[in-house]
């Protein structure tokens, strides 16, 4: 048995022709799924009966246990139990003119950022291509929710699951499959430096880089990956990104009260950004019971930080906290730490 959604269009087409069928049959299968929203091979009535049987005998589609929570602000969090019993989460965030799904790339995360709930559970495994895509397929075709944008900002460090991430993005962009424009997909990295240039080379989607600490001393503490790839190595790598791709890079800074939201941190950030065409997204810390000592920033500190960056000429946006009441906001996703609450 093979996972249908772990195939590329090319490899599935090869499978079809290897089994004595004309290649256009592959296109018919994708058409049933993505245009007609029919995922049951037995109902694909323009395919010969024996070919339908062959598909049923050879391909599985995911069968996950799914729980959903809806926030008072309309955000929806999906808890997906995978076939091996492990679980991941994805969050659907509706806004006026766009709807975004925050997608996971790994079960857990190895990077242990000192403010992130996912990091507390450690790393279990990478998601397969199919497991990445199924989060999106479920929301679009089972829940029938509108979806315009995808952000790989859920559980895990996407660039540490490089191959499956890139091949999933191929199908997400494929007009015959999910059909997302490359501007509608954004991948966030904690700074997996060796994979940044290969990623920019391989896909043309947007990249976000999580900084949070703007000196090595602070970043070593908050994001231990900095001990391996420090700020100067990160900057040196980013400076090699071709000019034409720069408009797609965004820096994310988690604003933690009196820790990362200080004037000094803002000034150091300006120094770090010097020479780069940067956009900055400030993420007010989402408080949670796992890190009770960490607090959201005061509004005036947030504004002061923003003004320092803006005066230095950088575009700055501030992320809205959505889905906090269902532990669905940035950095709050976990396989099991939230479970007690969900089932109560």
Select which of 102, 113, 116, 330 is catalytic: 330
How far apart CA 269 and CA 341 sit, in angstroms, is 38
What is the nearest approach in angstroms of ligand SAH to the Cβ of residue 261? 12
- Catalytic residue list contains 143: no
Site string for ligand SAH, 95-124 (x = CB under 6 A): --------------------xx--------
- Positions of E strands within the chain: 2-3, 59-60, 65-70, 76-81, 87-94, 99-102, 106-108, 123-126, 149-152, 185-189, 206-210, 249-255, 279-284, 315-318
For residue 328, CA distances in Å to 127, 232, 292 come to 20, 33, 17
For ligand SAH, which residue of 107, 153, 196, 309 counts as binding (CB under 6 A)?
153
Picking from 79, 95, 89, the residue whose alpha carbon sits closest to that of residue 322 is: 95
H or E element in which residue 118 lies: helix 117-120
Nearer to ligand SAH, 47 or 253 (CB): 253
How far apart CA 182 and CA 126 sit, in angstroms, is 23
Report helix, strand or coil for 276: coil
Number of residues in contact with ligand SAH, rule: CB under 6 A? 16
Residues 6+ apart with CB under 8 A from 174: 9
What is the nearest approach in angstroms of ligand SAH to the Cβ of residue 153? 4
Binding residues for ligand SAH restricted to 2-41, rule: CB under 6 A: none
How far apart CA 330 and CA 311 sit, in angstroms, is 27
Nearer to ligand SAH, 62 or 331 (CB): 331
The distance of Cα 191 from the centroid of its chain, to the nearest Å, equals 14
For ligand SAH, which residue of 130, 131, 157, 261 counts as binding (CB under 6 A)?
157
Binding residues for ligand SAH restricted to 275-304, rule: CB under 6 A: 283, 285-286
Q: Residue 336 has what DSSP assignment?
A: S
331 binds ligand SAH (CB under 6 A): yes
Nearer to ligand SAH, 61 or 276 (CB): 276
Nearer to ligand SAH, 267 or 290 (CB): 290
What is the nearest approach in angstroms of ligand SAH to the Cβ of residue 149? 15
Nearer to ligand SAH, 231 or 283 (CB): 283
Binding residues for ligand SAH restricted to 53-72, rule: CB under 6 A: none
Bridge partners of 93, per DSSP, are 100
Residues 6+ apart with CB under 8 A from 265: 213, 214, 215, 218, 305
Binding residues for ligand SAH restricted to 177-236, rule: CB under 6 A: 188-190, 210, 212
- Catalytic residue list contains 102: no
Nearer to ligand SAH, 273 or 330 (CB): 330
Site string for ligand SAH, 236-255 (x = CB under 6 A): ----------------x-x-
For ligand SAH, which residue has the nearest CB?
331
H or E element in which residue 300 lies: helix 299-311
Picking from 80, 179, 184, the residue whose alpha carbon sits closest to that of residue 139 is: 80
How far apart CA 155 and CA 118 sit, in angstroms, is 6
What is the nearest approach in angstroms of ligand SAH to the Cβ of residue 219? 11
How far apart CA 51 and CA 39 sit, in angstroms, is 15
Nearer to ligand SAH, 116 or 278 (CB): 116
- What are the residue numbers of the active site? 89, 330
| Contacting positions for ligand SAH (CB under 6 A) | 115-116, 153, 157, 188-190, 210, 212, 252, 254, 283, 285-286, 330-331
């Amino acid at each position: 048995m093979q996972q249908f959604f772990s195939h590329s269009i090319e490899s599935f087409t090869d499978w079809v022709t290897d089994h004595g069928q004309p290649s256009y049959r592959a296109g018919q299968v994708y058409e049933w799924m993505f245009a007609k929203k029919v995922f049951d091979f037995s109902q694909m009535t323009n395919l010969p009966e024996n070919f339908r049987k062959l598909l049923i005998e050879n391909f599985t589609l995911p069968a996950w246990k799914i729980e959903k929570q809806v926030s008072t602000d309309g955000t929806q969090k999906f808890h997906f139990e995978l076939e091996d019993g492990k679980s991941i989460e994805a969050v659907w965030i509706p806004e006026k003119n766009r709807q975004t799904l925050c997608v996971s790339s790994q079960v857990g995360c190895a990077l242990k950022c000192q403010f992130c709930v996912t990091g507390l559970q450690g790393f279990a495994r990478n998601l397969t291509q199919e497991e990445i895509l199924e989060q999106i397929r479920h929301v679009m075709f089972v829940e029938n929710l509108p979806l315009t944008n995808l952000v790989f900002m859920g559980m895990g460090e996407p660039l540490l699951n490089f191959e499956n991430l890139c091949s999933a993005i191929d199908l997400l962009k494929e007009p015959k499959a999910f059909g997302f424009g490359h501007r509608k997909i954004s991948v966030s990295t904690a700074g997996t430096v060796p994979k940044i240039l290969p990623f920019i080379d391989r896909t043309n989607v947007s990249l976000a880089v999580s900084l949070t600490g703007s000196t090595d001393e602070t970043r070593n503490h908050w994001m231990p990956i900095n001990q391996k790839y420090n700020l100067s190595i990160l900057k040196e790598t980013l400076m090699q990104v071709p000019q034409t791709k720069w408009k797609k890079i965004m820096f994310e800074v988690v604003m933690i009260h009196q820790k990362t939201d200080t004037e000094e941190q803002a000034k150091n950030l300006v120094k770090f950004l010097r020479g780069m065409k940067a956009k900055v997204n400030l993420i007010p810390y989402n408080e949670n019971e796992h890190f009770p000592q960490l607090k959201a920033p005061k509004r005036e500190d947030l504004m002061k930080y923003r003004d320092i960056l803006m005066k230095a000429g950088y575009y700055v946006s501030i992320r809205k906290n959505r889905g906090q009441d269902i532990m669905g906001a940035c950095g709050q996703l976990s396989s099991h730490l939230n479970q007690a609450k969900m089932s109560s």
